[in-house]
Structure 1
């Protein structure tokens, strides 16, 4: 078996050259210098050097990173002395890498070459072109199939003419007519034989070419598709090493590295995922005492999972640290001028809006800058890389605590199957892997919920009451009627988790593969699109982002979403388990006790460590909560403040809340009930029968 370090060094040999070449090319270019790109390259080079334990190269890369970071803050271009220093540093890195990370060879004899490992960097564009060429061959063969079908129709027509001639020929016997008839008969038979021969030859050629094209296509896909482990497998080890060096106790869980995706996709995700894992370590680290008080294990938990679902690659990076600091993110966004300062009477921004700001350049909740941090660039780099792949990134609080970033990208970027849609005279497309079903509903099947059209749809064995939303309304932000044509409504059923959304269009015309390019389009909200594609008939089409369409509906109709519209239903046997209780308490003992009592009775339980954590969970829209059981005395946001926030939010106001406290002060009881609590339980006389009876009465 090849030594793992040899394999890593061979990979570093390819990777470090790629970063050095990119930085040098950027410095030599006459175009405007992209400081963020060369900063990202230096940052990634530093991480790669750390992964293979080359501290001298890591230190030089860190120096470059510092120089590029300062220049980003200062603006402008490098002066000549600085530029010369940068080039000398690049040369020094190259020399160190050639000597295995040492300034001079460590032995008099030539160093042993790496044996048994040969890595070749294949340009992603060339690989994409190979795949595209294979698809073009397949398209050409489809044209040949049509030509073969035409030949067969001609053969059938020839047989008909031969039969007709057989009926007419007896009438041409005798004299010159007989001679002409023999000539015509001979020519007809020759033509028939040649037509059969051409047809047989064409059929053999099409079959042979089809087999060859299939082998080329399969080979191209084998080259392009590779297990995630081959590209991303070193990342968990890098984070463990970083944790050891920074004194952070960490447990890293990895799942799904055997999942296969296009190598180009995985390579494009490597640097963003490195940033995410570093962020999880940097932002998630907490003092042991604080973790113990919150009921967490002493070691920071970081989970890294990869899965293929419905033609897409889903990557999750989760930590059980303190979770996103919404106040710091908002303050950083204000400081960067991304949003205006909030006035004293202005309502707070929604959690989703604030969390989305974390993906903007320069927005960071990090208190300090060190070798772990990306200086506010980490999540913006992630967002840019994912959008370039035609994917999406989402930051959310993790349950019961911590943060989670979910990346969703196509498994391959070479070609994607697109559902073509007609909307208000324009042509759009959706990736087919984003649509669970394409349906033609009778207009009489539509019902209304609070004035909004819905339809009951069977989806993956579950029944769901899905909102039916005109696509033009999502694109234009202008209310529109559901388009009905000849008594029917055409919808594409989109899905994310348990959430469903039926997007109504005028017509669905075709499903065909095409290459999707990331482009900016005038007059189209860039947040709603992946890019554009050119169809086989040279027609351009805008390719929409289904996750963004779902986000827009959730944001515009949060109250309906929180009420459960669009969530898959469960059968009667699961009805009780579907009732979800959010337990909010800063005491791990109390949380554990209440969780065990409620789960024993068949309830689903979600935990929150304080009021702010609970409010984030409620506003995320990822689960429908039926009841909140909250302690009063908690850090950051106590039970009274949580109750006020719930009742002040139109989307949550009807949610029942039970307050629990160790104090039985009548003033507290009265205050809680006046604020809208459905019940008030004191812990001194806590009885699980009372808790269950109260919950049963409220629900």
Structure 2
């Protein structure tokens, strides 16, 4: 049969054989699993059949297309768990895959082969769930096995529809009609027929062609001018070598230095030239898309113009091969679901001919590929509804999503909104595979879309996987390389600031970076080597003995200091240790500066603490030896300029080894249901709590932002003076109280070592006695404000499987020291005729009731709203009553930023005071709040500061 483009055909053959390479073992594994279906494995085989079918359709290979389509139908039933893969069914699939391989290996004559027996057998299973007699394949007597493992198939060619979603279930495809004149009737029983009663299949109408082995092309084309350049450089290198040998023999040191510089220059040029041999223009991939767009547009009744820009941009051959399928998928997406039919475009005032632009260009050391169309765009609400219908997210989760987050739902596995299952779309595979394969290449994907205007998908890729730019770091006297594709920024914390900036949350060290907590890991700890530090005075790496004496014993941050020590030290109370540490500090300084490499991988961002930062270098990747391949923290190795080896760090595995978790690292089987859920949970308003105990059985929590510090004390430090518990603290007396002084809880456990949690209320310090363990966590748990609520206890929540009572420190202090609040605005009670009306906007019932209680206790009138939409309706209806708005930030439908912006843009409310009440206290959040018009920014549950502001603005409203 005639094939217009041999290069495209050859690419299809290679990709299809790669898809089929592992299919036999995969089908046998599916058979072994039986009813316990492995979704990942079935999806892999399903995608292979789907990709072969799609490619064959474009090539006009109808027989291959029909067989792959029939195979896909059966795999679709298994994937949807409508069919249990019995041995008889797997046997039919195995025979079909054997036939597919033979057809592809004899591609030019494949359309002349009779495959009716295979189609009849597959259709019988599809129609009735029963395995008919499988045909006897020519290769059955001598099964052919792949001599080496092939790479896993890449992106499946599947599209995403953005039209309105119908509630009906997805229609199933029609069975493929066999070429034979007699069709196999659907079986009447669901039980598979016994193998011993299976009749012999009829002979084929035409003889099969003998299979010929096919190996992917391993050659590349190199420009002759580049070969000439390599030859010239090799000649220069030989001359430089001869000069070097001569200078060594003669002992001419000065000339040897000049020869060394010459060799360095020639070697660098030679390296660049050799790398160019791996680089190929991306046009090798782009050139096939005019045919793809033309054929698909004709099939779908579209008029499309394809514009290609940047064919000359070069990429490593390995990357070009890997992005072929993802790009094919995205182009077909634009044709099938982006560009509207001509009549629809004309109605919208557009040109009947749609435009798709495929563009490649260099940016910041990477290659960017953009696929743009002027079609109907992606409707976030429709995508979210489709995800809800498929059970990928809930309706509640969808309400809290931004437009961009809704659009990104198309990257979830199993997502599709196509109404019909066709050769092109509707099976729910594709975009997730595109993202997965780009992640493997160190690339990324970003989607920008506007309804009615079109969509632009940007892919960012590294230039090469053989030579990559890396940041060189040193720890424990050894050098390591961190790929710049994972590098976010470099951070150095001077020694004098380490105590203030580095904190400990649970078992992890963290640093506050531009208002956000960044988890830290020490490279030496993850690699299980001794901690060291770099001494710039003598340029040596030294063992950090300070860590061995103190930090490895207590591992506590400045938050957990021993009160018997100086406030500037983090030393355990042992006098011997203290003496030795002071001796060490005299020799190596009070503390070492921290060098932090901030890296990212997927959704995880963290800092790696190293001894020293070196320059950025381009390195040549070498595979690890067999004895190191089981080491998870390394992605490879490289040889540095001095001949020593530097290991390349795998930042993703380092995070797992250090115990840092990421949504991307969750089990694939749970990803369908959990990925979107986790993304939404991450956006929920979280409360930072300090968790502690007062007795061994009961756990408590207090808002972390209200805690001044935590002190370790001895029970003997507590004094009883005038009937009150106190302790010496910073040159004065610190009043102490226990939760059981006020609340009906178990009394504090009497033991030698206690904790004092210090708060600052009513312009005074007060300490709450507690016992360990303590932990600082962020939770978004549902809070029960009824069951355990009492004086001093505002409610309870389940945290890490433990019922945790939330302490109301204000009520505790007011109950024990009511005189403290006598002269403060917090205790003001306004008269009825002066009471202002305050609008409280908060989606959490617990926090809304807390704030409402504060204000009603002070005599104010309160109007409640659960989100910004309800709040603005209340403003419009009761504009003359409301004197102040107190609003949360993170809310569904309309958040606090949007609400305040809308209030400020309305002349009726432009001067209305608005107070932000939230847990989002990062610098960028506060700056954004000021920009949209917040008058003040307060932290949740800080009653004292909130009520001071409320009284101030309420008085201003009354005075006005």
Q: What range is the shorter-chain TM-score in?
A: 0.5 to 0.7
**Separation (CA, whole Å) in 2 of partners of 1:516 and 1:290:** 55
Which stretches in structure 1 are left out of the alignment for 5+ residues? 105-118, 125-133, 156-192, 456-465, 496-500, 519-528, 560-639, 661-668, 677-699
Q: 1:223 maps to what in 2?
A: 277
Partners of 2:478 and 2:515 in 1: how far apart? Answer: 23
Is 1:87 aligned with 2:77? no
> Given that residues 103 and 110 in structure 2 are in contact (C-alpha distance below 8 angstroms), is that contact kept between their aligned partners in structure 1?
no
Q: What is the match of residue 122 of structure 1? A: 218
1:296-695 paired onto structure 2 within 5 Å: 296-319=350-373, 320-329=375-384, 331-332=386-387, 335-336=390-391, 338-339=392-393, 341-343=394-396, 347-373=399-425, 375-398=427-450, 401-420=453-472, 430-432=482-484, 470=518, 472=520, 509-510=613-614, 511-512=616-617, 513=619, 515=621, 532-534=635-637, 536=639, 537=645, 539=647, 541-543=649-651, 648-655=894-901
**1:13 equivalenced with 2:29 (yes/no):** no
Partner of 1:316, secondary structure, is: strand
Partner of 1:256: 310
Q: Distance in 2 between matches of 1:282 and 1:43?
A: 16
Q: 1:333 to 1:419 in 2, by over 3 A?
A: farther
Q: Distance in 2 between matches of 1:209 and 1:424?
A: 30
Alignment equivalent of 1:196, drawn from 251, 257, 269: 251
2:337 equivalent among 272, 279, 283: 283
Q: Equivalents in 2 of 1:209, 1:301: separation in Å?
A: 50
More helix by share: 1
Alpha-carbon separation, structure 2, partners of 1:295 and 1:487 = 67
- Aligned residue among 303, 318, 328 for 1:274: 328
CA distance in 1, matches of 2:421, 2:308: 27
Query: Residues of 2 paired with 1:538 and 1:202: CA distance?
Result: 26
The offset of 1:299, in angstroms, is 3.6
Label 1:531 to 1:541 Cα distance change in 2 as closer, same or farther (>3 A): closer
Aligned to 2:301: 247
1:352, CA displacement in angstroms? 4.5
Shift of 1:13: 3.1
Aligned-pair CA distance for 1:436: 8.9
Question: In the alignment, is the contact (CA less than 8 A) between 1:390 and 1:409 conserved in 2?
Answer: yes
Higher Cα Rg, which structure: 2
**Alignment partners' CA distance in 1, 2:592 and 2:260:** 47
So what's the TM-score if we normalise by structure 1?
Answer: 0.52
Determine helix, strand or coil for the equivalent of 2:650.
Answer: strand
1:23 alignment partner, one of 10, 20, 25: 20
What root-mean-square deviation, in Å, do the aligned CA atoms of Structure 1 and Structure 2 show?
6.2
Query: CA deviation digits over 1:506-553, x for unaligned, max 9?
Result: 6662334264999xxxxxxxxxx99844455354623369xx99x999
Give the CA deviation at 1:45: 3.1
| Structure 1 position 23, deviation (Å) | 0.9
Q: Is the 8 A contact 2:486 2:651 kept in 1?
A: no
Scaled by the length of structure 2, the TM-score of the pair is 0.40
Name the structure 2 match of 1:265: 319
Counterpart contact for 1:390–1:530, Cα < 8 Å: no
Q: CA–CA distance in 2 between the matches of 1:17 and 1:383?
A: 22
How far is the alpha carbon of 1:363 from its aligned partner? 1.5
Q: Structure 1: how far apart are the matches of 2:599 and 2:518?
A: 13
Q: 1:208 to 1:494 in 2, by over 3 A?
A: closer
Structure 1 residue 292, shift from structure 2 partner? 4.8
C-alpha spacing 1:282/1:30, structure 2 compared with 1 (3 Å): closer
Provide, for residues 120-142 of structure 1, a one-character-per-residue CA deviation record: whole Å limited to 9, x for no partner. Answer: 71189xxxxxxxxx9xxx9xx9x
Aligned residue number for residue 949 of structure 2: none
Please give the secondary structure, in 1, of the residue aligned with 2:456.
strand
Shift in Å, 1:387: 1.4
Q: Does 1:98 align with 2:111?
A: no
- Does the aligned pair in 2 maintain the 1:428–1:542 contact within 8 Å? no
Cα distance in 1 between the residues matched to 2:467 and 2:358: 27
State the distance in 2 between where 1:24 and 1:398 align: 41
Q: How far off is 1:390 after superposition?
A: 1.7
Aligned partners of 2:301, 2:451: CA distance in 1, in Å? 25
Which runs of no fewer than 5 residues in structure 2 stay unpaired? 31-40, 115-214, 221-229, 502-510, 524-556, 559-589, 625-631, 640-644, 654-660, 665-677, 686-868, 874-890, 915-960
Give 1:355 deviation, angstroms.
3.7
Asked if residue 232 in structure 1 is aligned to residue 280 in structure 2, the reply is no
Per-residue Cα deviation, 1:4-30 (whole angstroms, up to 9, x for no partner): x87722441353144135415421568
Report the number of matched residues. 478
